[in-house]
Chain A
Amino acid sequence: MTPFTVLTSVAAPLLRDNVDTDAIIPSREMKSTGKTGLAAGLFAPWRYLSPGSRDPDPAFVLNQPRYANAHILLGGDNFGCGSSREHAVWALAEYGIRAIIAPSFAPIFAGNCIRNGVLPVVLDRGSVATIAAANEPVTIDLAQQQVEAGSQRWNFAIGAEAKAMLLEGLDGIELTLKHRERIAAFQRADRLARPWIYFSTQP
């Protein structure tokens, strides 16, 4: 996973509430069992003029020339709600989005972001609107937990583990396997206390 340290980019405003993962990538764009080849389907229902076509809708924010190289997305409340499909984050990451700034995120989506090197930044609605209106390059410094646009700065909160995983590009599985012994010990004790939880053979 690519570490996330400091990112400077123009930020594309998509200030709608409840942007769902069906909009970020509709199921019909998830044609293979792999994680790649999804960027073309990103925001397909809004980005293209008609379903299934690839004719860009000039009104959609990512089709506007000034946001052509945006690596940051500005969103509304409850961003990424709906289906747990990780394809939504794979599509965003493959397209080049490395951070999303929004007033709140749906929990599964936020977890998927962190596991794919995409930083979800929570700032209040007013601050997101200010950043959108400033229309200047935005810098996100994860170590400092700070967003900077023009002359203004905002601090944001993020869990210590999520921060460490993003900063160092760590894989959660490796981190967890360091605790292999403790996990095994828990399972041994739990198997005795709650044997019905563990079906060892096919009934």
Chain B
Amino acid sequence: MKNKKIWIAIVVVGIIGAIYIGAIYIYYQYNRPNKDLSGVKADVAMSAVNLYNEYSADEKASDKKYLNKVIAVGGKISKIDKDATGSVSVLLDAGSEMGGVSCALDARHNDEATKLHQGDSVTMNGSCTGMLSDVVLVRCSVQ
């Protein structure tokens, strides 16, 4: 008899515990912020020239290959833009007049832009979102 009571107590405590853990997990998932990619190992490492050329040649195939992937892209800085809201974009030269690889900095890494200058060679880590006139990477940081 006593054994049965203990078992019931254990089960009840177990269920309550599971609910708690579940709730904490859901709460954590729900509030999970976008990951800072600076410490994340890139899925692919390549040059801005190669990435841009691949996209120019076949956008659909490149989307399949690179969308949502973290890319470490290396190249020469052709322009650094800061807009009125303080967002910084670093444009990497891809050897084309039409466009390059545009890296929008993660707001947590905006201050890294002060260390960069036009003409510098740099590697940026960011998530590929596709191509408009430039290939666009977001949530970027300097490696």
A and B: bona fide binding partners = no
> Using a CB–CB distance below 8 Å, which chain A residues touch chain B?
none
